[in-house]
Amino acid sequence: MKENALDKAARAAGISLEYINAKGQPEAISDETKRALLAVMDNPDKGKKTPLPPVAVFSGSRKRQLTPQGRGEYHWQLRSEAGKKFEGTLVGGELFTLPSPLGQGYHQLTLSKGKQQWQTRIIVTPRRCYLPPALRDGEKRWGALVQLYTVRSAKNWGIGDFGDLQQLVQQLAANGGDFVGLNPLHALYPASPDFASPYSPSSRRWLNIIYIDVSQVVDFQQSAAAQKWWKSAKTQRALAEVRENDLVDYEAVMALKLTALRHAWTEFQPRDEENEEKRAFAAFVREGGDSLRYQAVYEGVQAERRAGNAQHWGWPAWPEGWRNSQLPDVQHWCEQNEDEIAFWQWLQFLAQQQFSQCWQVSQTLGMSVGLYRDLAVGVAEGSAETWHDPELYRLKASIGAPPDRLGPLGQYWGLPPMDPHVMKARGYQPFIDMLRANMRDCGALRIDHVMSLLRLWWVPAGETADKGAYVAYPVDDLLGILALESQRLRCMVIGEDLGTVPKEIISLLRNSGIFSWKVLWFEQQRDGEYRSPEEYPRQSISSASTHDLPTLSGFWDAGDLQLGEKIGLYPADAVQPLHEQRTAQKQALLNALHKAGSLPARSAKQADKLAMSPQLNQAIHRFLADTQSALLGLQPEDWLGMTTPVNVPGTVEQYPNWRRKLTQPLEEIFADKEVQKLLKTVSQRRKAN
């Protein structure tokens, strides 16, 4: 059957013509959706006739050959990343083999004919991502999975900070742990701090300045004005209040920190230009370039506009002359506010310095992974990135998920997708810059929704999530670049591959050395039995839960189901079957614990009667410690027997997402005898198996 023009155009743009629906059957994408997404897309190469594409990626031992289009003879010149130059002639339409030896890296190929020239970026990549020597040698390591904002301590200002992270690293190492896994640390919105989801950031290249440990900032310590403010009764009352609150009060915390940091900035500014810190800051600004400058501009403008009008939460709500970083009104503001721009750049400098120090501590302590960061799948519509680089993002679409059994209407995430055609036209530089920013100063990078390397579900603006379609991404190229940056920065890669995972990406991820994520609750087979510890793949990280799922105690007590019923997440007729399913899951887990030798037989027959206890908690942690996964991630919430989740997917106002703190401060957690016993058991079993 001949393909019609619309389908042909959609396929050429990477739009899938069908998807697997909630019933497990293929379902065609409507013509309306195809037209809407074609209208949204931008293909910079459309209509252009060039001998070669803008970029070519060669992975592993793949033959490095190209076939230039056109006729006649071209002169070619290739300049390697190391500066070596090769040149010669080639004929259009004939196979051209790149010169050898050409090492891994980023090279530039130029074709010329007469006065015309064409550039192609040549990227040569390894086949697999980096793996730390300890894991390469077959060792198994464990660490803590921490939502940094939830951490309490005697010193922090009502939110976990980089000072707490340093203490966490030290305590974990002392108890046999190898890493701290973190929530996304991406820049959020200092002027709108209640926009707190780490998965809807303003920028994935810069840090959330709320994590700065102000007490570590030398200029805060040395500023007389800062110390006077700090010691005042009013400040100390405000500080005590945010510390004691069981939820993070983002507005109050940010107000305290910005007041303190502006005092510190006033102390920093007069320093001599040859001062070591001043020189380091100047170098940081140069290296950050336009990306850092306009991140700082955005934060400065947003603070000013929101102070004048609370409705001006972000650039989509600003007057038209302010909705792009290059507009005259914005440029005029920049000319008048260089000092304000420098202040926000300095905050990024402080954040990066403190995070880097945490990484250095982990390496001094001999941790093989040390820290791992989390890369969100996108940025929010009203973000600094979309404001500064709107061409890269399709602002008239959002990514999400198609309808499935758990979400019959699909999911709409409110995150505009990066356009794969623009990424390719730019030689993948936006992707490379993002990886480098997130692989800096850490031993592993977790990629949220790793399937985004293959495809994303795009939903046209104004439509419901079921009116979307999958759009393809150049997965082979992206995996190659990911492996190259991973090897260069000595940063392993973990892929969050939960939920619907297309078959075609499973082997690609495995062959690229990307670790899979294995969550205990999901590791059930078709007959309902839980997989035994020895069945977990070595190239994986295992955990009891995640930030989107109930805690261990919450799962056991069905607190998540009770909460979901209370806030209206489940239809009335779905609640009882969910409770019955949970009872069956608990019994299956008890059976698995008994079979693995983690729990006595007498305890494995009482799922409907057995309450969560320190003994059962220990048994589940023993089971997890025995898995063959090279990495194991444990949540402090589970050490403490906490029942409330940190995030309830599908809610906005119904639940205080991203705010719930740990029940105990760091100083008490690691002094707790039960916690010490649990961590000792985990360490011993990870070494023994």
Q: What is the pLDDT of residues 169-222, one digit of tens each?
A: 999 999 999 999 999 999 999 999 999 999 999 999 999 999 999 999 999 999
Q: What is the C-alpha separation between 394 and 419, in angstroms, rounded? A: 6
Tens digits of residue pLDDT in 647-679:
998 888 999 999 999 999 999 999 999 999 999
CB 262 within 8 A of CB 204: no
Rounded average pLDDT over 589-607: 85
Name the pLDDT band for 503 (thresholds 50, 70, 90).
confident
Res. 43: pLDDT tops 80: no
What secondary structure, in 3-state letters, does 547-599 show? CCCCCHHHHHCCHHHHHHHHCCCCCHHHHHHHHHHHHHHHHHHHHHHHHCCCC
pLDDT at 599: 87
Name the pLDDT band for 620 (thresholds 50, 70, 90).
very high
Res. 48: pLDDT tops 80: no
Rounded average pLDDT over 551-576: 90
Q: What is the C-alpha separation between 659 and 246, in angstroms, rounded? A: 8
Name the pLDDT band for 348 (thresholds 50, 70, 90).
very high
Rounded average pLDDT over 319-325: 97
pLDDT at 397: 97
Name the pLDDT band for 407 (thresholds 50, 70, 90).
low
Res. 590: pLDDT tops 80: yes
The percentage of residues in the chain with a pLDDT greater than 90, rounded to a whole number, is: 87
Rounded average pLDDT over 341-351: 98
Burial of 463 (0-12, 13-18, 19+ CB in 10 A): middle
Nearest to residue 84, comparing CAs of 118, 117, 107?
Answer: 107
Res. 44: pLDDT tops 80: no
Q: Which value, to the nearest 10 degrees, does the dihedral of the CA atoms of residues 22, 27, 30, 31 take?
A: 160
Question: Any idea which of 116-120, 189-193, 603-607 has the lowest mean pLDDT?
Answer: 603-607
Rounded average pLDDT over 502-516: 93
Name the pLDDT band for 351 (thresholds 50, 70, 90).
very high
More confident residue, 39 or 504: 39
More confident residue, 494 or 114: 494
DSSP annotation of 15 = B
CB 502 within 8 A of CB 591: no
pLDDT at 406: 59
> Whose structure tokens read 């079957």?
577
Name the pLDDT band for 34 (thresholds 50, 70, 90).
very high
Question: Any idea which of 510-519, 608-617, 676-685 has the lowest mean pLDDT?
Answer: 608-617
pLDDT at 23: 78
Tens digits of residue pLDDT in 122-163:
999 999 999 999 999 999 999 999 999 999 999 999 999 999
pTM of the model: 0.96
Rounded average pLDDT over 575-592: 92
